[in-house]
Amino acid sequence: MDQQVLQIAKALATRIIRQAGQIAKDKFDDIADVQFKDEFGDVVTEVDHLAEGLILGQIQDVFPEHQIHSEEAGWVGSDSDWLWLIDPLDGTNNFAIGLPVFSVSITLMYQQQPVLGVVYEPMTDRLFVSARGEGTYCNDKPVHVKRSPNFLKGNIGWIQGHKVQNDPTAVQLRHFIDVRCKRMMRLWAPTLQWCMLAKGDLDGIVLYNSEGDDLYSGILMVKEAGGAVIDFDGNPFNGMSTEPYMIACHPDHQQQLLQLVREGLGAR
């Protein structure tokens, strides 16, 4: 991997993500157009398209040889070892109903591994940046996954894909965890939950079949903040998956959280 490319990409992403976030902040609570994208109730707004256009244009100007996949535009460019994943407005449903819980996410993959993750939360002006081997930072301050003295009484984030809906197994597992921890958190803005875990504000995450452009920035954030990310079989999660099932937390707690998930999947 070319480190010079990574550093140029890092400077670019941190600049344009603030610009995209400002679009969302300026339009917050003043949305002119909200449209349904699918039968599951997912929505798209004018801000998704405006922020996406800004991000795509500037990446293409600097890295015309890189491939891009973005939430609304889909695939852009030819096959490349370098792949950008863009979610111009993670938490669109929240944004559309006036709930100020949303972010912009930019990820750079190299040979299907995340090497750069940048997430910006416009309403709090929090910028999370993680590059492979460099740690994770929130507004230029290093952050770390925390170890909890009483993990099973902690706060666990739940993330599921839009298509999961009320899948019986997902509902069973979600309820099982919900009644056994202090609080189960569902933000419908996954990147923010990953950032909360990396920052030490969440104790763990359980992700149920939720693959998308918002996933890999968060995974890198947590790993570079000292966290463990494993699948439901207990194996380290690496690369990309079209149907990911995983847990993430401090390494000292991974067996506890894995056992909780396994019990939940076996509960009747």
CA–CA separation, 52 and 73 (whole Å): 8
Using CB atoms within 10 Å of the CB of residue 134, give its burial: 0 to 12 exposed, 13 to 18 middle, 19+ buried.
middle
Helix (H, G, I), strand (E, B) or coil at 160: strand
Residue 224 marked as a ligand binder: no
Whose CA is closest to 34, among 48, 25, 45?
A: 45
87 among the known binding-site residues? yes
178 is in an annotated binding site: no
What is the C-alpha to C-alpha distance for residues 207 and 232, in angstroms, rounded to an integer? 9
- At position 200, the amino acid (one-letter code) is G
Flag whether 220 is marked binding: no
Radius of gyration of the chain, Cα coordinates, nearest whole angstrom:
18
Residue 185 phi/psi, 5-degree rounding, is: -110, 125
d(CA 224, CA 206): 18
Annotation-wise, does 192 bind a ligand? Answer: no
Q: Residue 265: helix, strand or coil by DSSP? A: helix
Nearest to residue 246, comparing CAs of 145, 143, 131, 161? 161
CB count within 10 Å of CB 30 equals: 8
Angle formed by the axes of helices 3-27 and 46-62, to 10°? 160
Annotated binding site: 71, 87, 89-90, 214
Binding-site sequence positions for Mg(2+): 71, 87, 89-90, 214
